[in-house]
Amino acid sequence: MTEGRTAQYLMTVEGGRVNFDLHGHGGGNSVTCEKGRGSTGEEGEFTAEFDGDHGWFWRNRDKSDVTVRVQVRGDYQVFKDAS
């Protein structure tokens, strides 16, 4: 994302819970925007503090499989799955 741009998101978790970290990095910068534990879903918005990559890291600590879905709208250039 480009510095100063804002995106809104809706994250849903089906089948369990996840820990997550919404973060950004690029140009020698790194920031955590939001963290959560045992989440079954989140909704919010974030503004890029600098130009770079911004996104989520999820960890499933339970034994059952989960599905995480994210809907994003706003001022971003690319949404890609890094799995």
| Residues with Cβ within 8 Å of residue 28, at least 6 apart in sequence | none
Q: Is the residue at 83 inside a domain?
A: no
Give the chain's mean pLDDT: 92
Sort strands 67-74 and 6-14 into parallel, antiparallel or unpaired. antiparallel
Cα–Cα distance, 2 to 9 (Å, whole number): 17
CB 17 within 8 A of CB 38: yes
Q: Is the residue at 16 inside a domain?
A: yes
Residue range(s) defining the domain that contains residue 59: 6-74
Q: What is the DSSP letter of 74?
A: E
Percent of the chain's residues with pLDDT above 70: 98
- Give kind and range of the element (H or E) at residue 39: strand 29-39
Q: What is the DSSP letter of 52?
A: S
Q: Is the residue at 46 inside a domain?
A: yes
pTM equals 0.85
Q: Is the residue at 17 inside a domain?
A: yes
Q: Is the residue at 25 inside a domain?
A: yes
The 10s digit of each residue's pLDDT in 27-60 is 999 999 999 999 999 999 999 999 999 999 999 9
